[in-house]
Amino acid sequence: MKKAIEYGYNDIQDYNGNKILTKAASKNNLNLAKMLVQCGDDPSFLGDSKRNALYIFCREGNLEAVKFFASQPNIDPNSPNVDNWTTLMIAVKYDHYEVVQYLLTLKGIDINAKNVWNETALQQAKSERMRNLLIKNGAV
């Protein structure tokens, strides 16, 4: 794996601008994603849609993966995709309560960030439990 990364095979992108790392995340494959990062792949890579592995694992609801990628250098959990959706917004939209709880512990998380439609994470919440969690943590 290290040699493949040294030779740049991990940088090959598909028609959507995704590399192997973001494809591994979209398949919810933490083992492969971790191996790629541990062998030198860039965990902060943003494809054409500006989604990194952290964003994708937040969408998938994989708490272990979210913790791993949030702890990597140069990872900004507030980094928006092309529609200004953040990791928090996408985790809320898919009702991944434990992931949202964890994201809210991260320093500097912007609970009131707005996407291109001027919506916040609170507006994405489908359950009362999620809304209460967000409000308790400062969402307006």
Asked if residue 11 has pLDDT above 70, the reply is no
pTM: 0.90
Mean of per-residue pLDDT scores for the chain = 91
Structural domain count, the chain: 1
Q: What pLDDT, in 10s, does the model give residues 58-116?
A: 999 999 999 999 999 999 999 999 999 999 999 999 999 999 999 999 999 999 999 99
Task: Report phi then psi at 93, rounded to 5.
Answer: -55, -40
The CATH number of the domain holding residue 45 is 1.25.40.20
Range of the domain at 56: 2-136
Asked if residue 18 has pLDDT above 80, the reply is no
Asked if residue 32 has pLDDT above 90, the reply is yes
Q: How far apart are CA 133 and CA 45, in angstroms?
A: 30
Q: Which residue has the tokens 């200004």?
A: 84
Instruction: Determine the pLDDT at residue 20.
Output: 84
